[in-house]
Each structure stands twice: as C-alpha cells, then as structure tokens.
Amino acid sequence: MERYVMKGGTPLRGEVVIGGAKNAALGLLAAAVMTDEKVKIDNLPDVRDINVLLSAIEGIGATVNRIDAHTVEICGKGIHGLSVDYEYIKKIRASYYLLGALLGKYKKAEVALPGGCDIGSRPIDLHLKGFRALGANVEISHGLISAKADRLVGNHIYMDKVSVGATINVLMAATLAEGKTVIENAAKEPHVVDVANFLNSMGANIRGAGTDVIRIVGVEKLHGTEYSVIPDQIEAGTFMFAAAATHGDVTVRNVIPKHLEATTAKLLEAGCQVIEFDDAVRVIAAEPLKPTQVTTLPYPGFPTDMQPQMAIVLALAEGTSTITESIFENRFRYVDELARMGANIKVESNIAIINGIEKYTGARVSAPDLRAGAALVIAGLAADGVTEVDDIQYIQRGYERFEEKLRGLGATIERVANDHDAQKFKLKVS
Ligand code: UD1
C-alpha cells in the first residue's frame, strides 16, 4: 500500500496554487445531469472522490467527456438507469446527490443507502424529509432509498439542523418542482452557493443561497452551461496551517479570502501574521505559537473539516488550548496517532484539551480519514526525524498532487509504494 514518507523540520516557504473545491464540484457534477444539454465544468480537482462520482454518472447512462484533468463535459441526455449502485455510494457518500438531481428531473430515483462513515454517525433524515415535503414518496428497503413522485410541488421546508448535504439535495429537487420552495435554516457554505449559482446558470430560479433562507421558484427544464468551480477553502486552509506548524511563510494563491475568514481569525489568535490579497493569502508563522479556543460550527463558523489541521498547530503552542467539535462526534480519532508523535492531547466527550509541546517526533502513523490524514502529514513536516503516514488513499480522496505541492514549498516528502522504497528514502535523508 502506498504511503507518504517525509523528513520534518524544514519551514515551508513559497507559493502554492489551490485547486477547485471538491465539495462544490461533487454537487455541481450531480446537478449537471439535470439537463439534456451539454454542460462544461472546469477548475475541477483531479481527486479520487470526483473520479468516483464521474463513474457513477457514467454508470446511469450520462456521457462524460474528460477534456483534461480539470475539465469535463457532461451530457445527461442518455440517462437510462435511475438507480445508483452501492459500489459508488460506499466509496463516496456524495453520490447521494444524484437522488435529488434524478428525482427533480425524472420524478423518480433510487440510490443505495450510504453506509456508516468514520467521522461519526451521518444520518440522512433531513434529505428525506425535504423530498417528502416536495411530495415524493420515499422508502428505504433492501439497502436502497427509493423516491418517487407523480408531481413534485414546492413547499416550505425547515431544516432541523444545518446540513450542507440536505440543503444541496433538496435544492436540486426543488429546482424542477412546480411552484415555490422555501428552505429555512439552510446551510450557508460557499459550496451551497456555488451549486445554486451553477443551477441558476442553467436556467434555475434560486435566490438567497448563502443566507439561511433559500427561495426557489421551480422551472420546467434546465439548459446547458459552462461553469468554473470555486477554489477549495479546505485545501487552502490546510496549507495555511502547514505554514504555521512548520514555522514557515507561505502564500496560498487562487483563493477567495472571504471563505477563509474563520481560519484566518484562528491563525491570528495563534499569533501568526496573515496578509490578504485579492485572490491570495500569505501566512507568516508565529514564534512561539499562542494557545486558543476553537469550536467547529456551520459556515461562517470554523469548519469541522479544518479541525484536525488546527489541532496540529495548537499542539505546538505555548500553553493549553481547547477544540470543541460540534458537528461530528467521532472526529478526534487522529489524537491517538498524534500521541505517537509526542502530542499531549486529552479528549473528553467532544472537547480536546491540548497542552502544547515543543516538537513532534517522527513516527509511523495511519490516516484515519481524509482531513485527519492531511493533518498528520503536516505534523510529520513539523516533526524531528522521519514520519511515515499509512492509508493515504483517504488523503487522495480530496487533495490533488498533495506531496508535489508540499515539495514545491520545500518539504522533503515522497509517496512510496513499499517498505523498500521507504527505506531508500530514509537512507537518502539520513
Ligand atoms: C459536508 C461535507 C463534509 C463536511 C460537512 C460539514 C460534502 C461532500 N461534505 O458533509 O466534508 O465535514 O459538510 O461541514 O460537502 N445531519 C443530520 N441529518 C441529515 C444530515 C445531516 O442530522 O439528514 C447532521 C450530521 O450528522 C452532522 C450535521 O448535520 O452533525 C452536518 O452534516 P452535513 O452538513 O449534512 O454534512 P455532509 O453534507 O454530509
């Protein structure tokens, strides 16, 4: 199995260019099949989750033409199957966006029920509540969710909890429903706004995305479009925290600084300098790092997807910090791995109490999930000696050419396929 092997201790310096937002692209790709006309999407990240969703889209009969690594043309005209296999859904939960997209377009869809995930229980009750409110009959049996409607009719839908997935899924179905839908307590994440903008560019009538009330007036059909995915705020934040943890100085390019405000605020509290440009941010690390308190919250709060990377920085701060995880209950699984590198973190329920240490020491660790995996790589780059991170297939789900981009900032890191190559790396750097 592939792994990353790295020698830490070099401050990251220089510039890195951020790709398109994976989580926005997942919504856009599903929405693209809602028209029979061609849709061209660029600034697509070339990562595993995107490639799996593209296969699922091909699997239902749409035409997928990959023009280059970051551009795709999709045509939903040839769709014959309205059923999305477990084969895809077990690899990425976001293939359930095809439920909202197909239900809106064909008034009928069937998607395998997503299985459990490694960051906590991930119910889909709000997605189903939304579809039912639009008039769909939704049933779960034999591991499948089936949604069917004679007509979809707009309605007033209150989301009991802020959910990115439910907001996007219901938004898609409501776009092709009759009449007006109001989604209250909607998620305000930039990727929700991106999906709404994309659908509007296809002829939808959606207002209020980015606020907690989204109003949709259903249209009869959608048309083709060309669209560019927004920059990935989580990839950007990951590099910002990597700069802080390694005592570096990194300019992160092709970003929307407004989407990074929560990350920037916490880096400033940790004592770092953050300079904002029109489409870039520069992070100059603090010496020493200061402790602070963080609570994960829906946007514009501090993102749960950035929580492990923040912990890597705070575990090196001078004093005691806390991180409260309020979105997913099982998102501290990296703590035991980080302890192997010397970190002093105690988890009580959904709060991590972090007592700063001076330095990590390199060790062999495993990525428990996508973001925690990226966080462990950052720890390895800040550590004394060599670190090996296993299970990097999680990291590859969401970071394109991760090790290459880090090398561009001066990191000594390689992706290796086996013990022999890991050994070669160690001899080279020792
Ligand atoms: C999306 C992101 C994920 C991020 C998360 C929170 C994608 C593909 N993934 O996941 O990276 O960590 O937002 O920002 O965009 N909930 C319910 N019922 C539901 C749906 C959700 O109770 O029907 C709860 C969840 O358990 C969780 C909270 O709502 O506590 C937020 O989850 P949600 O925003 O739906 O996350 P995802 O869309 O799955």
* Secondary structure of 179-211 as H, E, C letters: CEEEEECCCCCHHHHHHHHHHHHCCCEEECECE
- Does residue 93 surpass a pLDDT of 90? no
For atom 9 of ligand 1, the residue with the nearest CA is: 23
- For residue 63, what pLDDT is reported? 97
Tell whether pTM > 0.95: yes
Report the first-to-last Cα separation within the chain, whole angstroms: 23
Q: Which residues lie with the beta carbon below 6 Å from any ligand 1 atom?
A: 23, 26, 94, 122-127, 161, 163-166, 187, 191, 303-305, 327-328
Q: Which atom of ligand 1 is nearest to the CA of 26?
A: 8
The pLDDT assigned to 169 comes to 98
Cα within 13 Å of Cα(12), Cβ side: 37
What pLDDT score was predicted for residue 334? Answer: 96
- Tell me what pLDDT residue 143 has: 84
Pick 287 or 200 by higher pLDDT: 200
d(CA 207, CA 370): 32
pLDDT of residue 214 exceeding 60: yes
Q: Give the residue carrying structure tokens 């989301």.
A: 159
Q: pLDDT for 260-309, tens place per residue?
A: 999 999 999 999 999 999 999 999 998 899 999 999 999 999 999 999 99
> What residue type is 398 in one-letter code?
G
Å from CA of 141 to ligand 1 middle = 23
Residue 314 pLDDT grade (very low, low, confident, very high; cuts 50, 70, 90): very high
Determine the residue of 126, 127, 131, 164 to mutate for testing ligand 1's pocket, defined as the one with the most ligand atoms within 8 A of the Cβ atom: 164
pLDDT value of residue 1: 86
Q: Please check the confidence at residue 198 and state whether its pLDDT lies above 60.
A: yes
49 C-alpha vs ligand 1 centroid, how far in Å? 16
- Distance in angstroms (rounded) separating the CA atoms of residues 321 and 294: 8
Cβ neighbours around 384 below 10 Å, total: 15
Whether the Cβ atoms of residue 248 and residue 18 lie closer than 8 Å to each other? no
Residue among 85, 88, 84 at smallest CA distance from 99:
84
Check if the beta carbon of residue 6 is closer than 8 Å to that of residue 72: no
pLDDT digits (tens, 9 = 90+) for 233-252: 999 999 999 999 999 999 99
Whether 323 shows a pLDDT value over 70: the answer reads: yes
pLDDT in tens, 123-154: 899 999 999 999 999 999 888 899 999 999 99
Per-residue pLDDT at 115: 63
In this prediction, residue 15 has a pLDDT band, given cuts at 50, 70 and 90, of: very high
For residue 237 the two structure tokens come to: 């934040």
Share of the chain above pLDDT 70, in %: 98
Encoded tokens for 151: 């007509």
Mutation test residue for ligand 1: of 53, 161, 191, the one with most atoms within 8 Å of CB: 161
What domains appear along the chain, each with residue ranges and CATH number?
Answer: 3-18+231-429 (3.65.10.10), 22-225 (3.65.10.10)
- Cα 89 from Cα 96, distance rounded (Å): 7
Ligand 1 atom with the smallest distance to the CA of 327 is 30
Say whether pLDDT at 117 is over 60: no
The C-alpha torsion from 421 through 424 and 426 to 427, rounded to 10°, is: 170
> What would the pLDDT profile of 21-73 be if each residue is shown by its tens digit?
999 999 999 999 999 999 999 999 999 999 999 999 999 999 999 999 999 99
Atom of ligand 1 nearest to the CA of 49: 8
**Residue located nearest, by CA, to atom 35 of ligand 1:** 163
The set of catalytic residues is 117
Q: Which CA distances in Å does 11 have to 136, 167, 411? A: 55, 40, 8
Output the residue whose Cα is nearest ligand 1's atom 30.
327
How many A from CA of 165 to the centre of ligand 1? Answer: 6
Of 18-32, 76-90, 218-232, 397-411, the one with minimum mean pLDDT is 76-90
Report how far ligand 1's centroid is from the alpha carbon of 39 (Å).
27
Residue 116 pLDDT greater than 70, yes or no: no
Nearest atom (ligand 1) to Cα of 122: 26
Whether the upstream peptide bond of residue 123 has omega within 30° of 0, thus cis, is no
Instruction: Kindly indicate the confidence band of residue 329, based on its pLDDT and cuts at 50, 70 and 90.
Output: confident
In angstroms, rounded to a whole number, what is the distance separating the alpha carbons of residues 403 and 409?
10
**Whole-number mean pLDDT of the chain?**
96
Query: Above 70 in pLDDT, residue 3?
Result: yes
